[in-house]
């Protein structure tokens, strides 16, 4: 059993049925997983360049999604997180080191000329449906190959990789710094909330807040930044509870000195407990109104000078993602205001003149029930 269980026996009873349910759903969904063809395993899942917020300027991000065996937590007997369906994109069998390197090279070589010729600075984000620092998923030689190749591109100023806290060690941080001593590095951690009960009994994350804080201090000691993912509106929270939880999480993390916070509004992914409850009308994705209220209440201008606040919702404006009434004008206006806030880090952008929809009255009446 995980370390967090050993010291928190009171969580075991509450988590047992949740784990069993998540595991059962994912076992059934596993039948849809496939072994990809050789050609597919030598190409990344996806990669792109788009406008994004860097630490102190607007620039561009270069995102690469690598196909691997998937998240070790999701593939374990603990079942993974209640909202995560990324394991369905992973290969059924292990993906070789050579194949992962080929995936990275394919994306990197395709975009390198565009990056070097662009007047903007870049942030490189590497995603792999799990943990970049999990050496079962990304072998050490692959990690070092990727980091060394990145280090040679002057236009790439910032790097973001993802990892669960248990894979972040002093030894790995030293290695990362040896390759990227000229870049700003952030390790993105899916903390989801500062509330241990919500994180482990509703989300099934298998992480304690105290363990996150230990890793945060370790990263600070090595001069490596930390980016935190917060889940907006986990299962079993209504809109107001989601707002309150996220405000508390943002303010707590800013006080701890994290470098970046990324708010991830719930989106309904296939093969998850969230999808099952959503299909039974027992869960609804959050409203944009709730997200904007949370952002405006949680931070001020001084906070945003210290901590970058980000939000790029998956499935935004659709029935499976954060949305209001699904009217095109309403959703487009909300997405545009959110984008401008993230790029500028100016809270007034959330109130900029836009489409005023009558659905706000409906939201006000229903937010305590859904």
Give the pLDDT confidence of 262-275 residue by residue, as tens digits.
Answer: 999 999 999 999 99
- Identify the burial level of 39 via C-beta atoms within 10 angstroms of its C-beta, where 0-12 means exposed, 13-18 middle and 19 or more buried: exposed
For 101-145, the DSSP string reads HHHHHHHHHHHHHHHHH-SS-EEEEEE-SS-TT-TTTS-HHHHHH
State in Å, rounded, how far the first CA of the chain is from the last one.
34
Task: Give the integer Cα–Cα distance in Å for 217 and 212.
Answer: 9
Handedness of CA 179, 68, 232, 210 (dihedral sign): negative
Check pLDDT > 90 for residue 320: yes
Q: What tokens were used for 194? A: 């500062």
Q: Would you give the DSSP letter of residue 315?
A: T
Q: Maximum Cα–Cα distance for the chain, whole Å?
A: 57
Please give the Cα distance from 133 to 161 (Å, whole number).
8
C-beta of residue 295 within 8 angstroms of C-beta of residue 303:
no
Domains detected in the chain: 3-366 (3.20.20.70)
Q: Where are the beta strands (DSSP E) in 210-365?
A: 225-232, 260-265, 308-310
Tokens of 332: 């487009």
Q: What whole-number distance in Å separates Cα of residue 164 and Cα of residue 166? A: 6
Task: Provide the pLDDT confidence category of residue 129 given band limits of 50, 70 and 90.
Answer: confident
One DSSP character per residue, 72-107 reads TTTTSTT---TT--GGGGS-SSPPPHHHHHHHHHHH
Q: Pick from 238, 215, 236: which is nearest to 226 by CA?
A: 215
Chain segment 64-116, per-residue pLDDT in tens? 999 999 999 999 999 999 999 999 988 988 999 999 999 999 999 999 999 99
Q: Could you read off the pLDDT of 166-193 as tens digits, one per residue?
A: 999 999 999 999 999 999 999 999 999 9
Report the C-alpha gap between 312 and 318 in whole angstroms. Answer: 14
pTM summary value: 0.94
| pLDDT of amino acid 322 | 99
Residue 35 DSSP code? -
Confidence of residue 13 (pLDDT cuts 50, 70, 90): very low
Q: Please give the sequence-ordered ranges of beta strands (E in DSSP) within the chain, or none if there are none.
A: 46-53, 58-65, 122-127, 156-162, 184-192, 225-232, 260-265, 308-310
Taking residue 70's Cβ as centre, other Cβ atoms within 10 Å add up to 23
Measure the CA–CA gap between 345 and 326, rounded to whole angstroms. 26
Is it the case that residue 34 has pLDDT exceeding 90?
Answer: no
**Could you say which DSSP state residue 324 is in?**
S
Cα Rg for the chain, rounded, in angstroms?
20
């Amino acid at each position: 059993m995980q370390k967090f269980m050993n010291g928190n026996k009171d969580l075991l009873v509450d988590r047992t049925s949740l784990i069993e349910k998540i595991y059962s759903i994912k076992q059934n969904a596993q039948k849809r997983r496939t072994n990809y063809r050789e050609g597919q395993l030598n190409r990344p899942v996806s990669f792109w360049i788009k406008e994004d917020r860097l630490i102190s300027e607007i620039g561009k991000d270069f995102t690469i999604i690598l196909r691997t065996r998937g998240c070790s937590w999701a593939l374990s007997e603990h079942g993974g997180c209640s909202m995560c369906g990324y394991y369905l994109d992973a290969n059924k069998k292990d993906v070789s080191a050579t194949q992962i390197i080929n995936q990275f090279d394919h994306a990197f070589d395709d975009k390198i000329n565009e990056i070097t010729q662009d007047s903007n600075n870049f942030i490189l984000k590497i995603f792999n449906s799990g943990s970049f620092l999990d050496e079962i998923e990304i072998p050490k030689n692959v990690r070092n190959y990727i980091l060394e190749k990145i280090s040679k591109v002057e236009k790439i100023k910032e790097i973001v990789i993802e990892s669960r806290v248990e894979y972040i060690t002093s030894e790995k941080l030293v290695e990362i710094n040896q390759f990227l001593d000229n870049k700003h590095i952030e390790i993105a951690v899916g903390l989801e909330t500062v509330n241990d009960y919500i994180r482990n009994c509703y989300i099934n994350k298998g992480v304690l807040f105290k363990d996150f804080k230990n890793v945060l201090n370790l990263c600070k000691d090595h001069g490596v930044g930390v980016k935190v993912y917060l889940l907006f509106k986990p299962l079993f929270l209504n809109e107001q509870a989601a707002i309150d939880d996220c405000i508390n999480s943002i303010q707590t993390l800013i006080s701890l000195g994290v470098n970046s916070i990324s708010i991830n509004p719930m989106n309904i992914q296939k093969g998850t407990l969230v999808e099952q409850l959503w299909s039974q009308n027992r869960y609804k994705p959050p409203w944009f109104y709730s997200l904007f209220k949370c952002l405006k209440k949680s931070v001020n201008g001084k906070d945003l000078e210290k901590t970058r606040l980000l939000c790029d919702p998956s499935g935004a404006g659709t029935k499976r993602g954060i949305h209001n009434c699904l009217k095109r004008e309403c959703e487009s206006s909300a997405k545009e205001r959110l984008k401008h806030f993230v790029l500028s880090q100016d809270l007034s952008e959330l109130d900029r003149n836009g489409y005023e929809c009558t659905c706000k009255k409906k939201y006000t009446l229903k937010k305590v029930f859904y």
